[in-house]
Amino acid sequence: MSSGMMVGKTALVTGATAGIVKATAVGRARMGAHLAITGRDHGRTESPACEIRVAGRETVDTLLADLSSQREVRCLAEEVLQSPSRNDVLINYVGGYRDTRDVTVDGFAHTTGPIGFNGLQCERSYSGSRAYSQSKLADFLFTYESARKLQGTLVTANALHPGVASTSATSIYVASVPDLEQVTSRFFAHRKPKRSSQLSYDEATADQLGRVSANFVGLPQ
């Protein structure tokens, strides 16, 4: 991929403080993109920002937010919307694995499943592996539903497996290659389109998950 492929474009990368996500941000900087990255605190966010500056971008926007908090998610969204710069690419990569059930400040927990609508908050039983698996399924369902709702616009939504922490990661590829600018509602792994699980394409499940989730966080449906 060309080192100048992203010149003139702005990308927001959430959770870019470590690992594959930081590598994604650095890789995009090397391709010429203006970067905005998020982190929970100044110390955790400034370190990757310095690496991105070394990679070739003198200016990096650092946005502070704990994305497990609905209040801070809304504040971050408002800050991005009020920015004078147009955001061309959003790479969402914030998550975690827990062996025990943890509840966020808003009272939400990881979920188990397939999508178990009768126990989304895992109050009665919790399994880290089931919770993680269902959270990934929910990611696909939300992505494909977003793509359907955005049909007819210039906005695309895709899911991916990021691969290893290198500048050739799938997340960089999908968000950078011009041939994929109009591709939407797809899953990529190892820089190739793949088919995700059959349930991830179930529109009725996606619709129900969207309605339940909106109710959880107090959004209009």
Task: Give the active site residues.
Answer: 132
179 burial type by CB count under 10 A (0-12 exposed, 13-18 middle, 19+ buried): exposed
Rounded distance between C-alpha atoms, residue 58 and residue 35, angstroms: 10
HSE of 20 in the Cβ direction (CA atoms, 13 Å)? 16
Contacts of 221 (CB under 8 A, 6+ apart): 210, 211, 214, 215
**Could you give the 3-state DSSP secondary structure of residue 39?**
strand
Rounded distance between C-alpha atoms, residue 37 and residue 49, angstroms: 8
